[in-house]
Amino acid sequence: MKPIVIAIDGHSSTGKSTVAKQLAKALEYKYVDTGAMYRAVTLYSMRHNWIEEGNVDMAHIINSLPSIDINFEYNPEEGTNDVILNGENVEQEIRAMKVSEHVSSIAKIDEVRNKLVQIQKKLGDQKGIVMDGRDIGSVVFPEAELKIFMTASAEIRAKRRYSELKDKGEDISFEDVLENVEHRDQIDSNRKNSPLIQSEDAIKIDNSNLSQQEQFDKILSLAKQKI
């Protein structure tokens, strides 16, 4: 069996990371959540007050990029990788709604993308990897053997995200989550650098009416055809 690269892109809250993790486990591949990397840079910037009331202090963020170190560390309890920002485990903090509110503004910055894409390419240079994000099939690994593009209606995605955040104890409204999901789609799809697009050779999966198991089975069988 030859190791391949599996690129999973798509809209926010389509369950990309859940299926990507399942797939990596089944194939004994490495899993990389690239959204987590953009979230970590966002958290770092927020902690330095470089994002306030919708204003982004680009100069400070760009100048500080060499001091931002992003790594992944295996979490044996979850069986997945946690994000480590300058030595600190920030896995929980980066998932908060306040980070989601700003992450797409940070992910638009060319210098941020260049830095993270470089790390992502390196992580996949041995193949045997499942990577999820927005530009994996189009920019990071245009030569990926399997490209999946996941989508679902905004309402369904917001419902899933809302219950996830509620389970974690966040005090939020469904309307705010829906607005965030739609706002991120809008910024991600319309930015100049690496917009969220479906590559021509990507297989589109609308999971509005698919169970997690059905979706996983479908993608696993596509992967097995390539291996």
How many residues in the shown chain lie near ligand C5P by CB under 6 A? 13
Of the candidate residues 21, 102, 115, 134, the single one contacting ligand C5P (CB under 6 A)? 134
Q: Which is nearer to ligand C5P, 1 or 72 (CB)?
A: 72
Contacts of 99-104 with CB under 8 Å at 24 or more apart are 99/39, 99/42, 99/43, 99/46, 100/39, 100/180, 100/184, 101/180, 102/42, 102/45, 102/46, 102/51, 102/56, 103/35, 103/38, 103/39, 103/42, 103/184, 104/183, 104/184, 104/187, 104/188, 104/191
Q: Which stretch binds ligand C5P (CB under 6 A): 35-43, 47-55, 77-85, 198-206?
A: 35-43
Of the candidate residues 147, 184, 205, 223, the single one contacting ligand C5P (CB under 6 A)? 184
Measured from the CB of residue 94, what is the shortest distance to ligand C5P in angstroms?
8
Of the candidate residues 27, 31, 83, 133, the single one contacting ligand C5P (CB under 6 A)? 133
Of the candidate residues 20, 29, 32, 39, the single one contacting ligand C5P (CB under 6 A)? 39
By CB under 6 A, name the binding residues for ligand C5P.
12, 34-35, 38-39, 103-104, 107, 133-135, 184, 188
